[in-house]
Amino acid sequence: MIDPQPNCTDIFEQGLMPVDQALKKILSATPQLADYQIINIEHAKGRTLAESITAPFNVPQHNNSAVDGYAFHAIDIPTEGITKLTVIDSAYAGKANLTQINSGQCIRIMTGAIIPKDLDVVAMQEHVECYGTIISVDKRHKQGQNIRLAGEDIRQNETILPAGKFITPADIGLIACLGFAEIKVRRKLKIAIASTGNEVISIGANHSKEKIYDSNRYILYSALDRPDIEIINLGILEDNAETLLKQFKQSSLYADIIISSGGVSVGDADYTRTALKQSGTVDFWKIAIKPGRPLAFGSIGKSLFFGLPGNPVAVMVTFYQFVLPAIEQMLGIKNKVIAPLIKAKSEENIAKKPGRTEVVRGIIKQDNEGNCTVKTTGKQGSGILRSMSLANAFIILEHDRSTVKAGETVTVQTFSGLF
């Protein structure tokens, strides 16, 4: 049984906002980027299409051979015994063969070569007997076999990729086979990140008893380090309303999203609250989630603002549960499952209070039959970043759930897809 490490937030509290309600509010306040940029397809992986792609021609353009072998007329396939056919020519990929081929004749054909007019069967070379320029075929050959039909992959005028498609290497292959060198993608999202706290110092600064190195900005930096995002690093901001106000206002002139960490819990929220009251519309929420209960969300000028908690694990949990879905919505990414939810059997009891979502860090395993089991990474304090580093998944214990008994099924969100 995991020690739940009691703390003051464990006292049952009324009026906490359920996770799904918070996410709904965030997404309904998140606009979609309208701007686009034209880029070479070589650099399009991980970007989002701003405009659908329509095929200017069929792919393949012509019926062609799927194998190396011999092409002939289906009427020459015998019902019994064998038929001998004379090989009169060859067809190679990249060069059309215009020879007239009659019944009783065939051509040697290579993979990808256009099937000459009227021929409607290709035999794999391994499936025919060959004696110099004569081959013998039998009844096992079938009309249409080993022929790739014109347009069987892509039809002319078909929309093959919709606007909003998150571009993968396969998509780039499709776009390339249609001959497009450049495409319209949504412009990069500009995201400003800041840490707050007088105790927080940058790597390289003098370490002393009262100071801690900044983990959060590096976590956020690496989580945002992807082709469709431009990161603006605001550094560490001191706990001072004026400084915060100045920085956030300045950033809102060019950032689509501003993300800060720390300074949103009751003890120190006054700085951010004072600052944010003057610079925009930001609400301070207490979300029914552990870890990550305090969260500030709203807008500063044209920017969306997320004030994440200070503890690094809470930063990661709130980032992946609330900020990433907003980022993907702003980029207009459609139909992409960020990280699928899967079911696994818990290997142990996990203490859980109903009335809030608990995001436990876990290690998921799959046996040879494909069954998944999961265990926790041990101590789950929101300041214990090793619980994230040891984990390969979030165990998501739903709002109404109470303590999980070993053997019960739980919902798991694997990190592959998230990270």
Binding residues for ligand AMP (CB under 6 A): 195, 197, 199-200, 212, 214-216, 261-265, 267-268, 309-312
Q: Which residues of 372-384 are buried (b: 16+ CB within 10 A; e: fewer)?
A: bbbbbbeebebeb
Nearest CA-CA partner of 250 in 263, 261, 237? 237
Instruction: Decide whether 199 or 408 has the Cβ nearer to ligand AMP.
Output: 199
For the chain, the maximum distance between any two Cα atoms, rounded to a whole number of angstroms, is 94
**Cβ 195 to ligand AMP shortest distance, Å:** 4
The verdict on 294 binding Mg ion (CB under 5 A) reads no
Tell me which stretch binds Mg ion (CB under 5 A): 6-14, 148-156, 304-312, 350-358.
304-312
The verdict on 164 binding Mg ion (CB under 5 A) reads no
Instruction: Decide whether 197 or 294 has the Cβ nearer to Mg ion.
Output: 197
Q: Return d(Cα 320, Cα 393) in angstroms, integer.
A: 12
CA angle 332, 333, 334 (to 5 degrees): 110
**Cβ 267 to Mg ion shortest distance, Å:** 8
The site that binds Mg ion (CB under 5 A) totals a number of residues, namely: 5
Instruction: Decide whether 177 or 232 has the Cβ nearer to ligand AMP.
Output: 232
**Cβ 383 to ligand AMP shortest distance, Å:** 6
List 197, 280, 298, 312, residue binding Mg ion (CB under 5 A): 197
Q: Return d(Cα 257, Cα 327) in angstroms, integer.
A: 8
The verdict on 309 binding Mg ion (CB under 5 A) reads no
Nearest CA-CA partner of 90 in 105, 80, 73, 74? 105
Instruction: Decide whether 145 or 216 has the Cβ nearer to ligand AMP.
Output: 216
Handedness of CA 282, 284, 289, 292 (dihedral sign): positive
Residue 198's binding partner, choosing from Mg ion, ligand AMP, none, with beta-carbon cut-off 5 to 8 A by kind?
Answer: none
The verdict on 263 binding Mg ion (CB under 5 A) reads yes
Check whether the bond before 291 is cis (ω within 30° of 0): yes
Q: Which residues of 42-64 are buried (b: 16+ CB within 10 A; e: fewer)?
A: eebeebbbbeebebeebbbeebb
Q: Which residue is nearest to ligand AMP (CB)?
A: 310
The residues that bridge with 231 in the sheet, in sequence order, are 191
Residue 81's binding partner, choosing from ligand AMP, Mg ion, none, with beta-carbon cut-off 5 to 8 A by kind?
Answer: none
The verdict on 262 binding Mg ion (CB under 5 A) reads yes
**Cβ 288 to ligand AMP shortest distance, Å:** 18
As given in the structure block, the two tokens for residue 398 are 């739903």
**Cβ 281 to ligand AMP shortest distance, Å:** 21
Instruction: Decide whether 74 or 205 has the Cβ nearer to Mg ion.
Output: 205
**Total H helices, total E strands in the chain:** 8, 26
**Cβ 15 to ligand AMP shortest distance, Å:** 20
Interacting residue ranges for Mg ion, rule: CB under 5 A:
197, 262-263, 268, 310
